[in-house]
Amino acid sequence: MGGPLCAGSPRCLTVLIGDADLTAVIPSPPPLPFISLLLNFGSALKPKATQFPDLSTPSTSRMGKRKAAAAASRKRKKAASDAAKREGEEATTSKSQEEDPQKDPKKRRVKVPETETEYFAEKRNLEDLWQAAFPVGTEWDNMDKLREINWCFSNLESAFEEGEELHGKTVYMFGSTEAQMLNVNGQEKVVLVPIVVAVDSPIPPSDKIGVKSVQREKEEVIPMKTMKMAWVPYIPLDDRLSQVDRLKSQIFTMACTQRRSALKHLRIERVKQYDYCLPYLQPLKADEDEDDTVVNIMFPLEPPIVCDYDWEMDEIEEFTDNLIEEETLPEDKKDEFKEYVKEQVRERRKEQRQAKEARKKVIEDMDPKTREAMENMKFYKFYPVQTSDTPDISHVKVPYINRYYGKAHFLR
């Protein structure tokens, strides 16, 4: 158990016990009991196999701790390196997935169900020609009603094709509307039917507008520019990308630059003027009204007496007595009524005489070329063609245009 006893200094005694050396200060010479005690103590200090772990375990020595720390450091560095590598791979993967979402199932696009390809009909070159002609005399509130039905004027378009009646000619066009009772989807209703009038003429028909209605006592003829109207060139669809100043348009339409949004700032009388506008034409021949012998009578009573008096066919005395017999006219108003009728006749004859004189003067002052153009003007009146989307209008077509133009030469 114990090692040999080694002599030391006079006061020191070194005892070797196993792998340990113990040094004790003892008196010299040492007593025997002390030596025996020391040997027994050394036996007790002898290490047991179970008390000390294997020195090869790193955690039991400083060397082992340093190795463990180094190993842990390497492990941490490796973990950090692996984490950085993974982050780099994830960033690369994320970028590639952004470029190609199909690689990421979470961002995979939903497949849109396949639908049949829809084809739109190619626009015709003159498809919007009829819409370019301002509908003169149509109330502003009724403008939108023209779009309720998909009207088609393919007959107007084809008239300008090669070999047709308006091809290569200078044409001035204006629009209008006619209220007609039509069958729409099995129901009878009032429909505003658009019409287009084309004037075959080398010069503009007129630069004036007539304002005339039943409610207005007198007719007015005013410049078109007063109503913000003018003849403007129409550019076909195929030519709208070209420079307008280089085009030689042969189609002119009556346009109006009055904005609907600005109507609320105008006086009611001014707005109503648009409702009663009619394209004007200075006739070379006397119109029907110039030779008309009928005068409209509205005698101021309560209620007023409204009737027509023909100064060639009716005799004033007999005409008045009949109204009294019918109890339409009080007997005490007979003389007053007769005088009123005579005054209306005198005014009407004066208007007719002035109209004849004015027309005669215009013709005399007209240059020969203008007069020739006016005499050779041809009027074409176009109605919409019949389609599956439009009501039947074949029974309402009439050649009459207005009181200035009279009847159209050609009805289409």
Element (H, E) at 277: strand 277-279
Q: On the CB side of 318, how many CA atoms lie within 13 Å of its CA?
A: 6
Work out the percent of the chain whose per-residue pLDDT is above 70: 68
pLDDT, position 326 = 86
The average pLDDT across 153-178 equals 91
**176 residue type, one letter:** S
The pLDDT tens digits for 238-251 are 766 665 555 566 89
Alpha-carbon dihedral sign for residues 353, 359, 361, 364? negative
Closest by CA to 198, choosing from 379, 399, 411, is 379
Residue pair 182/189 in contact by the 8 Å Cβ criterion: yes
The average pLDDT across 53-82 equals 64
pLDDT, position 3 = 44
Quote the DSSP letter at residue 395.
T
pLDDT, position 225 = 92
pLDDT, position 73 = 73
Residue pair 297/314 in contact by the 8 Å Cβ criterion: no
The pLDDT tens digits for 309-329 are 888 888 989 989 888 888 888
d(CA 9, CA 32): 18
pLDDT, position 198 = 94
d(CA 148, CA 139): 16
Across the chain, what does the average pLDDT equal? 77
pLDDT, position 137 = 87
pLDDT, position 102 = 52
Of 165 and 75, the structure prediction assigns the larger pLDDT to 165
Q: Is the pLDDT of residue 205 over 60?
A: yes
Assigned token pair, 235? 């550019």
Confidence band, pLDDT 50/70/90 cuts, at residue 383: very high
Confidence band, pLDDT 50/70/90 cuts, at residue 193: very high
pLDDT, position 369 = 87
Residue pair 243/231 in contact by the 8 Å Cβ criterion: no
For the chain, the domains span: 2-45, 63-107, 127-280+377-412, 283-375
Q: Is the pLDDT of residue 402 over 70?
A: yes
pLDDT, position 372 = 86
Assigned token pair, 221? 């003829």
Least confident of 72-76, 270-274, 342-346, 386-390: 72-76
CA dist 135 → 6, 166, 253, 294 (Å): 140, 21, 11, 31
pTM, full prediction: 0.59
d(CA 339, CA 316): 10
pLDDT, position 244 = 56
pLDDT, position 153 = 92
Q: Is the pLDDT of residue 404 over 60?
A: yes
d(CA 338, CA 331): 12
Assigned token pair, 85? 């590598």
d(CA 172, CA 231): 8
Of 19 and 126, the structure prediction assigns the larger pLDDT to 126
Confidence band, pLDDT 50/70/90 cuts, at residue 4: very low
Quote the DSSP letter at residue 106.
G
d(CA 33, CA 391): 144
**267 residue type, one letter:** R
pLDDT, position 107 = 53
d(CA 254, CA 227): 12
Of 256 and 122, the structure prediction assigns the larger pLDDT to 256
Q: Is the pLDDT of residue 300 over 70?
A: yes
The pLDDT tens digits for 347-382 are 888 888 887 887 788 778 888 888 888 889 999 999
The average pLDDT across 53-71 equals 58
Q: Is the pLDDT of residue 336 over 80?
A: yes
Closest by CA to 179, choosing from 154, 209, 145, 134, is 145
The average pLDDT across 265-285 equals 80
Query: End-to-end alpha-carbon separation of the chain, Å?
Result: 141
- Output the CA torsion 19→24→29→31 (10° steps): -90
pLDDT, position 9 = 45
pLDDT, position 245 = 54
Of 268 and 2, the structure prediction assigns the larger pLDDT to 268
Q: Is the pLDDT of residue 199 over 90?
A: yes
Percent composition of the chain: helix, strand, coil (DSSP 3-state, to 5): 40, 25, 40
Of 11 and 82, the structure prediction assigns the larger pLDDT to 82
For tokens 């590598």, the residue is: 85
Neighbours of 75 (CB within 10 A): 10
Confidence band, pLDDT 50/70/90 cuts, at residue 252: very high
Alpha-carbon dihedral sign for residues 360, 364, 365, 366? positive
Residue pair 256/134 in contact by the 8 Å Cβ criterion: yes
Residue pair 164/154 in contact by the 8 Å Cβ criterion: no
Residue pair 176/197 in contact by the 8 Å Cβ criterion: yes
Residue pair 410/378 in contact by the 8 Å Cβ criterion: yes
Three-state secondary structure call for residue 353: helix
